Amino acid sequence: MAESGPLIRPLELSHAATRNRRLGPLVAIRVVGDALAVAVGALIGYGYRFHLSGVPIPGGAIPSFANYAMAVPVVVMLWLLVFLFTGRYQVQRGQSFVDEILGSAGSVALFVVLAVALEGLYRGFPYSRLVLADASIAALLLFILERAAIRSIQGALFSSGFGAVRVLVVGSGEVADLLIRRLRMFPEYGYQLVGRVATVPGPSTANSDLATFSIEQGLSRIVAREHADMVVLALGEDGHDRVVEFANACLGQGAEVKVVPDILEIMTSAARTEQVAGMPLIGLRPNRLVGRNLILKRGFDLVFTVILAIPVAPIVGVCAVAISLTSKGSPFYAQERLGLMGRPFKVWKLRSMVMDAERDTGPVMAREGDDRTTRVGRFVRRFSLDELPQLWNVIRGDMSLVGPRPERPYFAAQFERDYPRYRERLQAPPGCTGWAQVNDLRQGNSMEERIFYDLYYIENWSLGFDLKILLLTPWRILFHQHAY
């Protein structure tokens, strides 16, 4: 239903702009925290170089501390200016801690380059470049600790409603349901759901406790009445023709507008174009895990698996002893799963349930409060320790460190029948962890959601993406909500 009036009206100061002003204290905390981290890092660099490193000092005499102390304010100001002009003091919602740190890497590198250049241009005192190197490393480590502490404070404030973004979701299909579930799963990102605008008649069974409005009430009026800061259009492929209409209605009220792409749109982003006999053709984004990329991924797996095996081996040994002492049977067991291109293989795990747990029921997925789980099993499943023996599968080549989680043939057959795109997950080697898992999508979530994330991973794979997922995994293991 189109709304009367001009498409885009003159804007007053929006709710979002007012809310962003309230985020000023969080920005100030970042600035002060960075300044302290860099200042302390500089002092640590001086102390380590001249008192702890054991590296010979030219001339034998320790340089005056006063000269280095006078340089600290300059170094701090340089760091703050670099981070300011590279946009690192903007409060980013929905960004993981790993993304924040990796996103700051370029700024840190630019800071180091400029600091070395200043040191080379300054002729008043011969500053040691080893001090600069040690100070940069110390400042980086302190910066990571500082930002981790700030994120905890920020998450608590956002969860309590401070600076929250009031979000209105527009859409009636599975895409909108998925978005609502994800926003509710992570309140620490500071998105406050105020309602859903249904674009087709009928109640939503997935979000019955959320205020639901009809598009017939007028989207611009709903946005104004609910004081929505952001409107997310989750229309799916059936609503493409109304995106502009809905966006203009929201922009006219000063609300920020976001659009959730459907799976087809994700596939066709960065599509390849070519010509055949003068006729333009557009190719969908292909699976990136083929040929040379698959070889690179295999090399990456072997290197990191050898590194991880050193701390993992004693943990597996302790868990195996605990399982043997508290329940009958072997602490290890092998289970058939489907690997790359649907080839079956045996995945190795620590046993977390009683022996022959499916003898009377046949294949059954684990559920919350499953009485088949042993006492030690509850612990190892809670922290995903039962998956650690799968490093052996990685060495054998059955699995990768990162990829879609492998399924048992019995369940895979059901999923393939119910979800047409399920089989596309088999185009990538199965992984010990994956993009769906670090987003807290496990057996408690719908398979459709997990397929969505797995296909995104396959179509956007890179070694950097794998590294990011590996760095996110320990954090998600500690704080996930859906492992049992």
> What digits encode the pLDDT tens for the residues 78-87?
999 999 998 8
- Residue 394: predicted pLDDT: 96
Tell me the pLDDT band of 268, cut-offs 50, 70 and 90.
very low
pTM for the model stands at 0.66
Residue 14, pLDDT above cutoff 80: no
- Residue 388: predicted pLDDT: 94
Homologous superfamily, domain 164-260: NAD(P)-binding Rossmann-like Domain (3.40.50.720)
Q: Residues of CATH 3.40.50.720 domain(s) within the chain?
A: 164-260
Q: Is residue 301 a contact partner of residue 318, using CB atoms and an 8 Å limit? A: no
The single residue listed with the structure tokens 């380590």 is 48
Residue 1, pLDDT above cutoff 60: no
| Maximum pairwise Cα distance, the chain | 83
Q: Which two tokens stand for residue 188?
A: 């620490």
Look at strands 272-276 and 165-170 and give their pairing.
Answer: unpaired
Rounded to whole angstroms, the Cα distance separating 296 from 299 reads: 5
Mean pLDDT along residues 270-297: 64
Q: Which two tokens stand for residue 289?
A: 């895990």
CA torsion sign for 361, 366, 370, 371 is positive
Residue 302, pLDDT above cutoff 90: yes
Of residues 368, 436, 376, the one with CA closest to residue 402: 436
- Residue 286: predicted pLDDT: 60
Residue 237, pLDDT above cutoff 60: yes
Q: Is residue 107 a contact partner of residue 88, using CB atoms and an 8 Å limit? A: yes
Percent of the chain with pLDDT over 70: 85
Tell me the pLDDT band of 393, cut-offs 50, 70 and 90.
very high
- Residue 207: predicted pLDDT: 55
CA angle 259, 262, 264 (to 5 degrees): 130
Residue 204, pLDDT above cutoff 80: no
Percent of the chain with pLDDT over 90: 30
Q: Is residue 252 a contact partner of residue 9, using CB atoms and an 8 Å limit? A: yes
Mean pLDDT along residues 312-336: 92
Q: Is residue 189 a contact partner of residue 157, using CB atoms and an 8 Å limit? A: no
- Residue 381: predicted pLDDT: 87
Partnered with residue 402 across adjacent β-strands are: 433
Q: Across all residues in the chain, what is the average pLDDT?
A: 82
- Residue 6: predicted pLDDT: 37
* Amino acid making up residue 221: R
Residue 189, pLDDT above cutoff 70: yes
Q: Beta strands of 331-399 (E only): which ranges?
A: 332-338, 344-350
Q: Angle of helix 24-47 relative to helix 15-22, nearest 10 degrees?
A: 40
Rounded to whole angstroms, the Cα distance separating 349 from 385 reads: 9
Mean pLDDT along residues 454-476: 87
**Structure-model confidence comparison of residues 5 and 457, the more confident one:** 457
Instruction: Kindly report the backbone phi and psi dihedral angles of residue 194, in degrees, each rounded to the nearest multiple of 5, phi listed first.
Output: -105, -10
Tell me the pLDDT band of 203, cut-offs 50, 70 and 90.
low
